[in-house]
């Protein structure tokens, strides 16, 4: 055995193959490996206050040491410019070196409870062009609390095959300075093939449509058994779950999630500079599951015969220090409450539904967890809903708005319904509780879109009203929706509703909304022109209900003539008692 020491200028020409045993120690020299030349070192490579220019191949079975400001260069015309780590025991890099292409042909597996093999970073490592993990099942680069910095394109990650255990392995801890950092040079897809020491693959893809110049993204996955709960959300001061109204294909959609995923963790993604000028989608890979015995993010939600629905949530900020957020409590994710911060989660219509026993990675119909059209980076985590029917709730286009400055109309629609008895309409004003103000029949079970509305005439001008629905099944189970608001503005207003209900079997009423006190005369005529009801009413400003008792009125069609000041209004009423 021998060591190769270099203290002079050495150039290894094309076609030349050099084999060194034990160690290649470059002590102050300039070594050039020309294109198609190869250097094989059965041991360590130490570059000490020296220069190595590699246009060919350097293969080593030991560690790489960069010491005392040594440099590693590559030319512009080389075909390989490759450094290859090949062994079955652990290899390491020291001194924050930079390489052009790196290939790891070294399996990394657990032996007697310890990780053995692969390439471990004892310092940061920068790779300019390509990272190749081919040549061996389970080849990995383990960051070991350090940072792997990659400056190449998305195609530069070669032969990353999660089914064969080949990925960038992070510790899974919240270590400052750890992660996969990627210089984003252009728009397009960037796949971050990261996993953890607990044999959990947590890869994801960022799809950029807009990027700033000279920026990088650093990502890591922090494993936590408890990443928090849902806190108070808009419209529900004591709501125990996350609730949100979102746009889906142009319509508002109601989404409910009841808890964060236990025994999983958080993706922590941050830019090197500001959070501006970005536009991207994120997709957590569908096969981001366990490589061995570790459960994936579905595990806590599966029930026999049920479906589990998942959504990727995002906090609204990226803090440099977790203490900046009161609820983070230092590095303890478990204290965080996912409340209004999760509003900025992109397209909330992007859900992933997985059946009991279904294999995520083996099913092409499952696309993974996704959030779209984002412009900032922060922390992401999966949430879900455990329910036999699956969510999101198929309620679309829930809204309330003033009509002709007279009354407020609440509109909603359902995409599908299962055993839907109907909807209670609830209303409240500021400082009051919700009260039921109406009922609208449902359509039972249907796969067709159904539209509904409810008109609220009992409203005053310049008052904000809050509305919600309580959907009730035939078996008595119910769900409450989010809250929507509406207001009619002040002005010289006088409106009269149609008869409610109409047709009527017993009694009916008119709703009058007036900005002034007025006297009204109301006469009800039958088809023969006979007056069957005659009343005079004084209404105050605001909303007034005028009741009509129809006990002594026969079935038929009637015509109401309403006189107010110098105006006459006409309304039609149909009575069907039988």
Q: Do 395-486 and 494-575 have matching folds?
A: yes
At residue 348's C-alpha, the angle toward residues 426 and 288, to 5°, is 135
Q: Would you say the C-alpha torsion 113, 116, 122, 124 has a positive or negative sign?
A: negative
Question: From 3.40.50.970, 1.10.10.10, 2.60.40.2550, 2.60.120.620, which CATH number describes the 494-575 domain?
Answer: 2.60.40.2550
Buried b (16+ CB within 10 A) or exposed e, 248-261: beebbbbbbbbbbb
Give the model's pLDDT for residue 34: 86
- Asked if 92 contacts 73 with a C-beta cutoff of 8 angstroms, the reply is no
Q: Residue 269 has which token pair?
A: 């993604």
Q: Is the pTM of this model over 0.75?
A: no
User: What pLDDT is stored for residue 398 in this prediction?
Assistant: 76
Q: Domains of the chain: which residue ranges? A: 1-170, 198-236+263-389, 395-486, 494-575
Look at domain 395-486 and name its CATH class. mainly beta
Asked whether the beta carbons of 85 and 107 are under 8 A apart, the reply is no
Predicted local distance difference test score (pLDDT) of residue 551:
81
| CA-wise closest residue to 339 among 260, 263, 452, 415 | 260
H, E, C per residue of 57-117: EEEECCCEEEECCCEEECCCCCCCCEEEEECCCCEEEECCCEEEEEEEECEEEEECCEEEE
Q: Is the separation of the CB atoms in 58 and 41 below 8 Å?
A: yes
Half-sphere exposure of 213 (CA within 13 A, CB side): 0
Q: Distance between the two ends of the chain, CA-based, in angstroms?
A: 110
What pLDDT score does 182 carry?
Answer: 95
Q: Cα–Cα distance between 267 and 185 in angstroms, integer?
A: 22
pLDDT of res. 271: 92
pLDDT in tens, the chain (578 residues): 345 554 444 555 555 556 556 788 988 888 888 888 888 998 999 999 999 999 999 999 999 999 999 999 998 766 789 999 999 999 999 999 999 999 999 999 999 989 999 999 999 999 999 999 987 889 999 999 999 999 988 777 766 766 678 899 999 888 889 999 999 988 999 999 998 898 778 888 899 999 988 899 999 998 876 555 544 333 323 333 344 433 333 333 344 555 566 667 788 899 988 656 888 888 887 555 433 334 455 444 443 334 355 667 776 554 433 333 333 333 333 334 443 333 333 344 444 544 444 443 333 344 567 777 778 888 787 766 544 333 334 676 677 888 877 889 998 888 788 888 999 999 988 767 789 999 999 988 887 888 999 999 988 887 888 888 888 888 888 777 767 778 887 666 677 888 888 888 878 888 887 777 889 999 988 888 888 888 899 888 767 788 888 888 888 889 889 999 888 888 888 888 76
C-alpha atoms less than 13 angstroms from C-alpha of 36 in its C-beta half-sphere: 3
* Cα–Cα dist 307/357, whole Å: 10
pLDDT value at residue 401 = 81
H/E/C letters for each residue in 415-473? CCEEEEEEEEEEEEECCCCCEEEEEEEEEEEECCCEEEEEEECCCCCCCCEEEEEEEEE
Per-residue pLDDT at 234: 32
SS3 333: helix
* pLDDT value for 12: 54
d(CA 491, CA 479): 37
């Amino acid at each position: 055995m021998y060591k190769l020491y270099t203290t002079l200028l050495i150039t290894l020409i094309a076609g030349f193959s050099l084999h060194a045993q034990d160690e290649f120690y470059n002590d102050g020299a300039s070594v050039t490996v020309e294109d198609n030349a190869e250097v094989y070192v059965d041991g360590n490579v130490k570059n000490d206050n020296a220069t190595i220019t590699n246009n060919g191949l350097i293969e080593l079975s030991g560690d790489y040491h960069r010491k005392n400001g040594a440099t590693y260069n590559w030319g512009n015309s080389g075909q390989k410019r490759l450094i290859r780590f090949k062994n079955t025991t652990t290899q390491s890099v020291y001194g924050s070196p930079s390489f052009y292409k790196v290939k790891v042909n070294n399996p990394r597996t657990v032996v007697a409870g310890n990780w053995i093999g692969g390439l471990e970073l004892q310092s940061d490592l920068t790779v300019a062009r390509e990272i190749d993990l081919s040549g061996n099942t389970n080849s990995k680069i383990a960051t070991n609390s350090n940072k792997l910095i990659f400056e190449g394109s998305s195609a530069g990650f070669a032969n990353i095959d999660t089914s064969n255990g080949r990925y960038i392995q992070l510790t899974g801890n919240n270590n400052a300075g750890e992660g996969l950092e990627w210089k984003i040079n252009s728009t397009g897809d960037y796949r971050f093939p990261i996993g953890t020491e607990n044999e959990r693959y947590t890869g994801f893809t960022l799809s950029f449509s807009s990027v700033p110049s000279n920026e990088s993204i650093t990502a890591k996955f922090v494993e936590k058994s408890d990443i928090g709960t849902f806190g108070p959300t808009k419209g529900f001061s004591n709501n125990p779950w996350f609730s949100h109204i979102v746009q889906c294909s142009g319509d508002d959609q109601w989404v409910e999630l009841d808890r964060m995923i236990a025994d999983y963790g958080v993706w922590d993604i941050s830019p090197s500079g500001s959070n501006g000028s970005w536009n991207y989608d994120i997709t957590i890979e569908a096969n981001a599951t366990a490589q061995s015995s570790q459960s994936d993010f579905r595990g806590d939600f599966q029930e026999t015969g049920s479906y589990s629905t998942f959504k990727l949530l995002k906090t609204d900020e990226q803090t440099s220090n977790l203490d900046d957020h009161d609820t983070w409590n230092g590095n303890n994710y478990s204290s965080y409450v996912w409340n209004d911060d999760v509003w900025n989660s992109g397209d909330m219509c992007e859900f992933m539904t997985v059946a009991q026993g279904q294999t995520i990675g083996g099913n092409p119909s499952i696309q993974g967890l996704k959030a779209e059209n984002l412009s900032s980076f922060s922390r992401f985590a999966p949430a879900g809903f455990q329910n036999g029917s699956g969510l999101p709730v198929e309620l679309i286009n829930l809204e309330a708005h003033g009509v002709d400055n007279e009354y407020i109309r609440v509109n909603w629609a359902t995409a599908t319904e299962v055993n839907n008895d109907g909807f209670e309409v609830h209303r409240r004003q500021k400082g009051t509780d919700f009260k039921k103000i109406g009922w609208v029949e449902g359509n039972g079970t249907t796969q067709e879109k159904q539209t509904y509305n409810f008109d609220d005439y009992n409203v005053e001008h310049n008052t904000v009203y809050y509305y919600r629905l309580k959907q009730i099944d035939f078996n008595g189970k119910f769900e409450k929706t989010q809250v929507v608001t509406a207001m009619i503005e002040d002005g010289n207003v006088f409106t009269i509703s149609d008869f409610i209900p109409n047709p009527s079997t017993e009694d009916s009423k008119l709703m009058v909304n007036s900005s002034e006190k007025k006297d009204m005369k109301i006469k009800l005529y039958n088809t023969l022109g006979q007056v069957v009801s005659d009343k005079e009413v004084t209404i105050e400003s605001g909303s007034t209900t005028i009741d009509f008792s129809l006990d002594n009125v026969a079935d038929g069609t009637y015509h109401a003539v309403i006189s107010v000041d110098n105006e006459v209004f006409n309304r039609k009423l149909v009575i069907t008692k039988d």
